[in-house]
Every structure is written in C-alpha cells, then in structure tokens.
Amino acid sequence: MINKIPLADRETLEQGLKRLKLRYTREIIDSANELAMEEEPGYIDFLAYLVEHEIKMREENQRLKNMKKAKFPQLKTLDEFDYSFQNSINQQSMRDLEGLDFMHAKENVVFLGPSGVGKSHLAVGLGVAAVSAGYKVRFYTFTELVEDLYASLADSSFNKKIDTILKNHLIILDELGYVSMDETASDHVFQFIARAYEQRSLIVTSNLNFAEWGTLFASTSTAAATLDRLLHHAHVFNMKGDSYRMRSRLVQPNIEQLNKSPELVIQQ
C-alpha cells in the first residue's frame, strides 16, 4: 500500500509555510513537534492548535501595529487612573465606556475641565481599550488636526484627508481650547465633525465650557453647528479638582523636619 501522506521534508515544509505566509507556525515547528510527541493529541486537535496559535499571534501583531498607528503620546490605561484623587469622575461610568458600546452606537465622549485633571489620560485609556479590542484609533491634538487639514489644501486633497482619518473607528481630539481658529480652520473642523456625525465615534477633551466655544471659532454660528453635531449623541463629563501634575507641589512640608535644619526654622 502506498501512503498518501509522505514523510515530511523539513526544507520543503518551511518553504511551503513561507509561501502561505504562516510565519508564526513556521517559528514553532520544533516546539510544536516536541509537544505533539509528548501529549499525542489527535490529528485534528493538533491542527487546531497550530491554527489557533497562528491566529492569536497575527491578532497580537496587528494590535501592536494599530497601537503604533494610533500615535498616542503615552500609553495609559483606565486601570492606572487615580479615581481617589480625581473624584469628580465615576469609576463605574468609565468601566461602562470601556465596554465600547458607545462606539457600536457611533456615540461621542467629551471630557471638560481645567488643565491637569486627567482628561487626556481618560481619552487615551479608552483609545487603548479600543485598540486592544481590535479597533483602529487615531489620536490628534486639536492643533495637529487643524494643521493636517490645512496642509491638505496644498494638493486639493481635503476631502480625501478626511476620508483617510475617518477610516479609523475612533478619533481622539485632545486639547481643544488653547488656540483660537480662523475662518478656514473653523470651517475645516466643522466639516470634519459633520462628516464623522453618526458614522464614527469621537473623544474630545477641552479646558473650556461649551458656552466658551464661541471664542474658539471664527463665528458663533459655526461653533453652535459643531456642538449640535458633536453633542447629539454624546457622553459628557465635567471634571473638577486639582492638577495631577501639581500634586507633588501641594504636599505640605513636614514642620518637625524643617525645624531640625539650622538654615530654616518654621515658627509655630
């Protein structure tokens, strides 16, 4: 009887896996073979093990690529957020958002509050959660977005640029409120948010209350139209409190220790 399954030639096997782009299976040929000899799984079980490994590694590789493409300024998670210091944010609300139902519904998230209270951390944390769940995310400071859209005017690729940005499932716009916009920039931002409306989810952070957004845009009508689309389906969080970056400066000095210093005595 002639066997239909011939003995494997190692070089031919590796070339075949390479042609099929099964990189991760190729990398574990020896260890997988040793494991199979030790555990003696069924043939289907062994094949399933190899397929599962290939899929798992491809997904992890894609996650790392998407994390890099997101251009987060720093990688921060919601688990790292200090809710005890920033108690104006309900932890359960963030956990609910981390489930990403807001993205399925094409809803937006807006964090308002003074500088340093953790708006960007929460925005990035939700972005990292989205990437980990397999979504494409793009982080922009508001200034970067305006500059990107301005630059697209040079080769008349404005609409194409917006289309490219909106290929991401979630777009984070950080630090709206520090620079006022001229008429062109105001129109660009309005068009971008209008195009994203009910098609993609946005996360926006701002140091200004909505009533003050009229000072950012070239006209109050453009500001109102932008807010109308941004807030129609939105989760809004007003954050208060001290700056995280100022915490170390807010620690009170130890009076007893200071009194031990001959150069400085604190009168009590």
What is the layout of strands, in order, in the sheet containing 170-176? 137-141, 170-176, 201-206, 108-112, 234-238
Question: Which residue, chain included where needed, has tokens 């845009």?
Answer: 217
| Three-class DSSP category at 70 | coil
Query: How far apart, in whole angstroms, are the C-alpha atoms of residue 110 and residue 207?
Result: 11
Average pLDDT for 121-127: 98
Are residues 57 and 22 part of one domain?
yes
- Residue 267 in any domain: the answer is no
* 47's tokens: 């094949």
Question: Which residue, chain included where needed, has tokens 């309900």?
Answer: 90
* 125's tokens: 């944390």
Are residues 27 and 94 part of one domain?
no
Over the stretch 151-191, which tens digit does the pLDDT of each residue have? 999 999 999 999 999 999 999 999 999 989 999 999 999 99
- Residue 268 in any domain: the answer is no
Q: Do the beta carbons of residue 24 and residue 60 sit within 8 Å?
A: no
Average pLDDT for 69-75: 97
The pLDDT value recorded for residue 2 is 76
Are residues 235 and 185 part of one domain?
yes
Q: How many domains does the chain have?
A: 2
Q: How far is CA 178 from CA 139, 188, 219, 237, 264, in A?
A: 17, 17, 17, 19, 41
Residue 40 pLDDT > 80, yes or no?
Answer: yes
The pLDDT value recorded for residue 259 is 45
The pLDDT value recorded for residue 262 is 42
The pLDDT value recorded for residue 87 is 87
The pLDDT value recorded for residue 241 is 75
Are residues 49 and 91 part of one domain?
no
Residue bearing the bigger pLDDT, 131 or 116 = 131
The pLDDT value recorded for residue 247 is 60
Query: How far apart, in whole angstroms, are the C-alpha atoms of residue 137 and residue 68?
Result: 10
**CB neighbour list of residue 27: distance below 8 Å, 6 or more residues apart:** none
Q: Domain residues for 50?
A: 11-69
pLDDT band for position 4 (cuts 50, 70, 90): confident
Final residue of a structural domain among 19, 51, 69:
69
Q: Which residues, listed in sequence order, are joined to residue 238 by a DSSP beta bridge?
A: 112
Q: Do the beta carbons of residue 202 and residue 193 sit within 8 Å?
A: yes
Indicate the angle between helix axes 158-165 and 183-196, nearest 10 degrees: 40
Over the stretch 206-264, which tens digit does the pLDDT of each residue have? 999 999 999 999 999 999 999 999 999 999 999 997 776 666 555 554 544 434 444 33
Establish how many alpha carbons lie within 13 A of residue 173's alpha carbon, considering only the half-sphere containing its beta carbon. 26
**CB neighbour list of residue 173: distance below 8 Å, 6 or more residues apart:** 140, 141, 142, 145, 202, 203, 204, 205
- Detail the DSSP E strand segments found in 94-223: 108-112, 137-141, 170-176, 201-206
- Residue 1 in any domain: the answer is no
The pLDDT value recorded for residue 255 is 42
Of the candidates 81, 164, 90, 82, which has an alpha carbon nearest to the alpha carbon of residue 128?
Answer: 81
Are residues 109 and 63 part of one domain?
no
The pLDDT value recorded for residue 264 is 37
Residue 17 phi/psi, 5° resolution? -65, -35
pTM value is 0.85
Are residues 180 and 65 part of one domain?
no
Query: How far apart, in whole angstroms, are the C-alpha atoms of residue 229 and residue 200?
Result: 12
Are residues 55 and 100 part of one domain?
no
Over the stretch 84-110, which tens digit does the pLDDT of each residue have? 888 899 999 999 999 999 999 999 999
Q: Do the beta carbons of residue 133 and residue 258 sit within 8 Å?
A: no
